[in-house]
């Protein structure tokens, strides 16, 4: 296999000779498209030494000069967006337009990082007491790391990398083993933008590298996005080793459909939010919640023909609305959960199993599926399916919808569709979920706000990107200063007071 995907360290792509090789697949064909060389814990530790050395100079670089690198990086991302999207599609399977959308949303975080010097100004209090000034300055942590998921191989790293770098840290990225190539493109573009060697590094690997990141004492903070069990593991182990950790986990996102909602808008929103990217989004709507039997019946009547005719195909098919799922294992898990829904009493109105895409018979394709009469006790409701499956839960009234959402252990995203401002305002204020949409199905905040759920959808106190990124990637130093002029002689034995 000629396409060996390795690390990117100190400004160069490395061709390691040791380490286990693991196949990387093209989900549209089922063929092996390359192999990733898994790094060892010792290799990770060597990269940390490189990043530690680079962090010294980079942290001392004026913030505006760091921002200028981010400006150039932003321009290069825009110029290479099509190439990046094609790489995403080839290893992930999402349509080209969907991949371009991913790059665009990642660019928002890069744009935010360009303005970080303004947010690193700190604060100053002159004459806090006689001849005493007090000021606070946010300073870089040093070496930080990111562990990112397969479903957004460009966007999620871009949520972390530019903000951490603009704050003056060096960064080590451990991308998903399933679609690792795009991160090497990002590394090349950062080098082209003028980032000094060693400030950003990519280490390919599996759990061995993850554990090495969590255990290495010179890595000060870890950002993670993935499933809830892994997020909890990373938070627990990282925090036990004294690290800052932000670990974003899974989701079960509900969409409440009130009787007064615009049903045409609801259907369009559900189709895109439920089946876009084959449902492999942590912010995908997976549970439609129609309020009242009439609303539910109307919704199902409208949805069935659209779901049945949703075009599925490879990223090269410009007519395809949905591509394959990431792996054969994911496909098998989704089909198993579909069968469990039937066995547990849900009504499968549209069955996406067994779909064949001409010319791509070995691809990891599954059609869109639609369940009705799902209950909270069923596995298809309790588990994050991470596939193109909508599980409709009917409720009698608005209060029952609130209770349903609050009874779920996840609290990543939620939406309400209504024309009633009172209902919307009450919903926004009362609902115990981190990101809320009002007539917006996927309420992912723009880059100058911060992204994060509540409850089992996040571990750690910091949300990702936006203003919270400053608090996560820097530590505050407070300085109290007084110069000799005006100082009275004699020791003070009482606790100092600023009066």
- Catalytic positions: 282
Beta bridge partners of 223: 146, 246
| Terminal-to-terminal C-alpha distance of the chain | 73
- The DSSP secondary structure of 252-294, one letter per residue, reads -EEEEE-TTS-HHHHHHHHHHHHHGGGG--TT-EEEEEEBSHH
Q: Which two tokens stand for residue 291?
A: 């309020």
Three-class SS state of 332 = helix
Give the C-alpha separation, 210 to 433, whole Å. Answer: 29
Instruction: Give residues with Cβ within 8 angstroms of 144, minimum separation 6.
Output: 164, 169, 170, 171, 172, 219, 220, 221, 222, 223, 473
Closest residue by Cα to residue 180 from 383, 318, 33: 33
Residue 170 tokens, joined? 């060096």
**Closest residue by Cα to residue 160 from 85, 94, 239, 248:** 248
- Rounded distance between C-alpha atoms, residue 35 and residue 25, angstroms: 9
Q: How many CB atoms lie within 10 A of CB 223?
A: 31
Task: Give CA separation, 81 vs 77, 113, 271, 276, 334, in Å.
Answer: 6, 18, 26, 20, 31
- Bridge partners of 475, per DSSP, are 139
Q: Which residues of 2-27 are buried (b: 16+ CB within 10 A; e: fewer)?
A: eeebbbbbbbeebeeeebeebebbbb
> Which residue reads 């690390």 in tokens?
7
């Amino acid at each position: 296999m000629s396409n060996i995907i390795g690390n990117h360290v100190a400004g160069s792509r490395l061709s390691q000779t040791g380490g286990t090789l693991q196949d990387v697949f093209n989900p549209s064909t089922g063929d092996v498209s390359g192999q990733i060389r898994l790094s060892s814990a010792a290799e990770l530790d060597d990269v940390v030494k490189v990043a530690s050395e680079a962090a010294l100079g980079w942290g001392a670089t004026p913030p505006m000069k760091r921002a200028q690198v981010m400006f150039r990086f932003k321009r290069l991302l825009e110029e290479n967006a099509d190439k990046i999207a094609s790489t995403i599609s080839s290893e992930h399977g999402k349509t080209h337009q969907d991949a371009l959308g991913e790059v665009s949303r990642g660019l928002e975080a890069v744009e935010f990082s360009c303005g970080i010097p303004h947010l690193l100004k700190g604060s100053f209090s002159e004459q806090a007491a006689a001849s005493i000034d007090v000021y606070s300055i946010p300073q870089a942590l040093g070496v930080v790391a990111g562990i990112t998921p397969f479903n957004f191989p460009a966007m999620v790293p871009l949520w972390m990398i530019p903000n951490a770098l603009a704050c003056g840290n060096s960064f080590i990225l451990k991308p998903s083993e399933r679609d690792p190539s795009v991160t090497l493109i990002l590394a090349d573009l950062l080098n082209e933008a003028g980032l000094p060697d060693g400030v950003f590094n990519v280490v390919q690997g599996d759990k061995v590298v993850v554990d090495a990141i969590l255990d290495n004492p010179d890595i000060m903070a870890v950002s993670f996005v993935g499933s809830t069990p892994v997020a909890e593991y990373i938070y627990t182990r990282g925090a036990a080793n004294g690290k800052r950790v932000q670990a974003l986990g899974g989701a079960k996102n509900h969409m409440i459909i009130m009787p007064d909602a615009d049903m045409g808008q609801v259907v369009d929103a559900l189709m895109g939010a439920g089946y876009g990217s084959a449902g492999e989004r942590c912010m995908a709507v997976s549970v439609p919640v129609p309020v009242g039997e009439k609303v539910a019946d109307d919704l199902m009547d409208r949805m069935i023909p659209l779901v049945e005719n949703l075009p599925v195909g490879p990223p090269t098919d410009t007519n395809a609305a949905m591509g394959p799922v990431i792996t054969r294992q994911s496909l098998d898990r989704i089909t198993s959960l579909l069968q469990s829904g039937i066995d547990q009493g849900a009504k499968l109105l549209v069955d996406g199993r067994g779909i064949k895409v001409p010319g791509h018979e070995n691809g990891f394709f599954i059609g869109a599926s639609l369940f009705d009469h799902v209950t909270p006790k069923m596995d298809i409701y309790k588990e994050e399916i991470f596939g193109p499956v909508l599980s409709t839960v009917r409720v009698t009234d608005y209060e029952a919808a609130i209770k349903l959402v609050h009874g779920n252990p996840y609290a990543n995203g939620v939406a309400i569709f209504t024309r009633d401002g009172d209902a919307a305002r009450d919903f926004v204020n009362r609902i115990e979920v981190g990101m809320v949409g009002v007539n917006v199905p996927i309420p992912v905040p723009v880059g100058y706000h911060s992204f994060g759920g509540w409850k089992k959808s996040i571990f750690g106190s910091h949300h990702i990107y936006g203003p919270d990124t400053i608090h996560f990637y820097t530590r505050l130093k407070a300085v109290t200063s007084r110069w000799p002029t005006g100082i009275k002689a004699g020791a003070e034995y009482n606790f100092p007071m600023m009066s």
